[in-house]
Structure 1
Amino acid sequence: MRHDPLRNRKGQFVIEAVLLMVVGVSFFIWGTNQLREQKILAKLIGGPWEKVSGMIESGVWETPDKARANHPNQIDRSLTIDPKG
């Protein structure tokens, strides 16, 4: 039985594993860079928070500057304590 070096596949698994790791790490680095550059997480957290902040401050589902104008304290009152007024 002759030993044929072209049919020796002992190192093929290691080479394929290293190549898959390189591809996986490259994809992970690319993905994290995209998340940072496009600020996707900041948009997911900060975008809805604007309207929640308006609801907390003024009780209206708008951004805080728009919600302040719709706050019940900003409505002109039709009744007064003084009946003559």
Structure 2
Amino acid sequence: MKRLVSNNRGQFLIETVLLMVLTIGLFIGASNFLREKKILSKMIGGPWEKVSGMIEAGVWASPDQARTKHPNQIKRSLTLDPEQL
């Protein structure tokens, strides 16, 4: 049986271009969706608050709450007897 299409290179080229267009379209759509929903910023920003509190004050909390729990904020008195603390 004789083939009707003898030029397979043209079909391969068209299929490749269509796949590239589809891939680029999906990539642009996904990036727009992620940008609109701010999913990436929530993944990075949420945990960063607690890490920031740990960096600033040494407590796993948001920076505002961690500042009040910093060891520097504890009222200390000068005494020789540790039971009086």
Relative to the length of structure 1, the TM-score reads 0.70
SS at match of 1:60: coil
Tell me which amino acid in the other structure corresponds to 1:8.
V
CA change 1:8–1:52 in 2 (3 A) is same
Aligned length: 76
Q: Which has the higher helix share?
A: 2
Q: Deviations over 1:45-78 (max 9, x none)?
A: 322221121112211011101111211122233x
User: % of aligned pairs identical?
Assistant: 61
Residue 34 (1) aligns with residue 48 (2): no
CA change 1:17–1:9 in 2 (3 A) is farther
Matched residue, 2:78: 80
Which contiguous aligned blocks of 4+ residues in structure 1 show a shift greater than 3 angstroms?
Answer: none
Matched residue, 1:8: 5
Aligned ranges 1:12-23 → 2 under 5 Å: 12-23=11-22
Relative to the length of structure 2, the TM-score reads 0.70
Matched residue, 2:42: 43
In our comparison, the structure showing a higher alpha carbon Rg is: 1
Unaligned runs of 5+ in 2: 80-85
Matched residue, 2:53: 54
Q: CA deviation at 1:35?
A: 2.1
SS at match of 1:21: helix
CA change 1:72–1:43 in 2 (3 A) is same
